[in-house]
Amino acid sequence: MSLSFEGRVVLVTGAGGGIGREYALAFAERGASVVVNDLGGDIKGGGKSSAAADKVVEEIRAKGGKAVANYDIVHRVHLRGSFLVTRAAWNHMKNQNFGRIIMTASAAGIYGNFGQANYSAAKLGMLGLANTLAIEGRKYNIHCNTIAPVAGSRLTETVMPADLLASLKPEYVAPLVLWLCHDQCQENGGLFEVGAGWIGKLRWERSQGDIVRQKNQPMTPEAVRDKWDKICDFTEATKPVSIQESLQSVVNVLSQVELAGEVGANPTAASASASGINPTEAVGKKLPPTTFSFDHTQCILYALGVGMSTKDPDHLRFLYEGHADFSCLPTFGVIPSQAAMMGGGLSTVPGLNIDFTQVRKHTLNAELLRLLITCTLDISKYHLCCFTVNTYNGNELVCYNQFSVFVVGAGGFGGRRTSEKAKAALYRLSGDWNPLHIDPSFAALGGFKAPILHGLCSFGFAARHVLKQYADNDPSRFKAIKVRFVKPVMPGQSLQTEMWKEGNRIHIHKNFQTTILDLCTDLMTGGLMSVSVQGGGLQSELVFAEIGRRIKDLGSEMVKKVNAVFGWEITKDGRPAAQWTIDLKNGSGSLHKGSYSGKVDVTFTVSDEDFMEVVQGKLNPQKAFFSGKLKVRGNIMLSQKLEVILKDYAKL
């Protein structure tokens, strides 16, 4: 089946000739509507003309295609031009959940070239821009790749022989660009050299390196000199693909300095330790793809395992498959990755001999793209195991998990065995079958007096607490969560989640508390949960959600004190974005989003930004009114009761 671009709009910069012209013609031939951008300048960047772009547009239209010309001089070439064009298109791509961006770099940018310092800097800058766009756009199905083409053009015709130019036709580059732009192509963040019908993918390579300092000793240039050959030795080189992987060696060095007192060997090249773990063999290994299938039963079991109950009406949507809004808790996204890691796959990795009585989860960073297996395994030294697990539905990446796990010596954490064991017994039905959480004899091997609660179970408790408090139990507003596990939960301890809001992010500090000693200790620290705000990212959504919760708790009292109906029209970028009605006149009070059939006593119109300024006390409402930022219709005197809503009860 041939690739079609019907219904797609493609903007090609530099499309007046050479490679750009070939791109424009090829996309138009396959149904795309093409914007032909070209300044019409000479090879030195001087002058301007519309003729080049107009000519290509005429070619496309003559063949029955659709095209328009663009020769806006403010679109500078290379780095700034690429940035400006991408910025203009970015939000449109996000809104339609699709976008493909191709940056055109150059061998001069990748390798350098005599006499082209400015050009090389700009071209390599485009690669850095592309790499960041690939990361930021992934969740919106926006892919960005970079090509370094070798093709005949106005810039090369003066320096290449005619016979070589003939073999470097632009039409030998265009097919790669078309493929990378198609919705079937899932490549993202790649760098490709292309020319004469050949295509190759490039990646970074890093030597194993060496450590040149000792604890409490200065680092000297002489030490660098003495280790230079080792630093530059690319035998058994690594191939980092992310900034996290790039920083891993530095983290490992710090660990060695503190734990070993003296460091000499490189952090990922240690020989097999007495525990049987050999990082050299394990680093970079990938588990084969596995399949995870689930239905409503697993979702309900998971919800029960993290403490949900039919006693709370708000929980029913997660416990009853027949509920109109039946949903899976967003943190269920960790279950497929857990199944991939703990289902026997880790035991097949060379150099990774893990005693599961010694496994403790350390950190978890989960980003949920929808909901629900390709697994990438990276292991560092000192039994700190770092895993990255991607979960796909078909070709669509739906969940991204990062784990770091400590494999430690026998612990000595105390605690009594009570009914909390039943909670662990229930949670393990979600797929974590480690007997450390159910078998007292196995737990004893790990240094515990009783089976401990799953770390991901307490994680689930914290996440659902935040979901209820700040997102009204709406899973669609869950964005991402990152936590660090500090200590295990023992039987007989109760869980408490402390949280606070900063913008769209919720900070989590979870404690466990023993019922006997009344001693509070950190369980999870440094937790951070992002709650996606509905209505196009309106900050005011969280404020109205908080008001709604207060009305549920104290509505009758508020009705007696206020006795009015308030309407709010929230704008964003000068356009209507959301409508809210706070009814504190009828019944026990209520909050409505969208249209309201009853009578509104007073209506306020304000931008989302100014509303937040008023709520936070940074903008005086009277000044906002007289400056035109806050508009009022109806009984203006009722505005005096706003403080009752925004301060006395909402605690904002």
Enumerate the active-site residues.
119
Task: Record the tokens describing residue 342, joined without a space.
Answer: 């703990």
What does the alpha-carbon distance between residue 261 and residue 249 come to, in Å, rounded to a whole number? 17
Task: Record the tokens describing residue 450, joined without a space.
Answer: 């009783």
What does the alpha-carbon distance between residue 221 and residue 230 come to, in Å, rounded to a whole number? 15
Cα atoms in the 13 Å half-sphere on the side-chain side of 534: 15
Q: Label residue 510 left, alpha or beta by phi (over 0 means left) and psi (-120 to 50 means alpha).
A: beta
Task: Record the tokens describing residue 368, joined without a space.
Answer: 């949920």
Give the single-character DSSP code of 333: G
**CA distances in angstroms from 390 to 51, 232, 398, 455, 576, listed in the order given:** 49, 33, 8, 20, 38
What does the alpha-carbon distance between residue 633 and residue 604 come to, in Å, rounded to a whole number? 7
Read off the amino acid at residue 541: E
Q: Is 321 exposed, middle or buried (0-12, 13-18, 19+ CB in 10 A)?
A: exposed
CA angle 594, 595, 601 (to 5 degrees): 110
Sheet of 602-607, strands arranged across:
590-593, 575-584, 564-572, 602-607, 630-634
**CA distances in angstroms from 120 to 94, 114, 205, 242, listed in the order given:** 31, 10, 20, 23
What does the alpha-carbon distance between residue 213 and residue 226 come to, in Å, rounded to a whole number? 12
What does the alpha-carbon distance between residue 20 and residue 39 come to, in Å, rounded to a whole number? 12
The phi and psi torsions of 510 (rounded to 5 degrees) equal -105, 130
Residue with tokens 């708000």: 314
b/e burial code for range 581-591 (CB count within 10 A of at least 16 → b): bbbbbeeebbb
In 97-212, alpha helices (H): 107-111, 117-137, 162-167, 174-181
Angle between helices 18-29 and 51-62 (to 10 degrees): 30
- Of 535, 430, 526, nearest to 474 by C-alpha is 535
| Residue 202 near residue 110 (C-beta atoms within 8 A) | yes
User: Using DSSP, how many helices (H) and how many strands (E) does the chain show?
Assistant: 22, 21
Q: Is 26 exposed, middle or buried (0-12, 13-18, 19+ CB in 10 A)?
A: buried
| Residue 430 near residue 342 (C-beta atoms within 8 A) | no
What does the alpha-carbon distance between residue 17 and residue 34 come to, in Å, rounded to a whole number? 14
What does the alpha-carbon distance between residue 187 and residue 200 come to, in Å, rounded to a whole number? 14
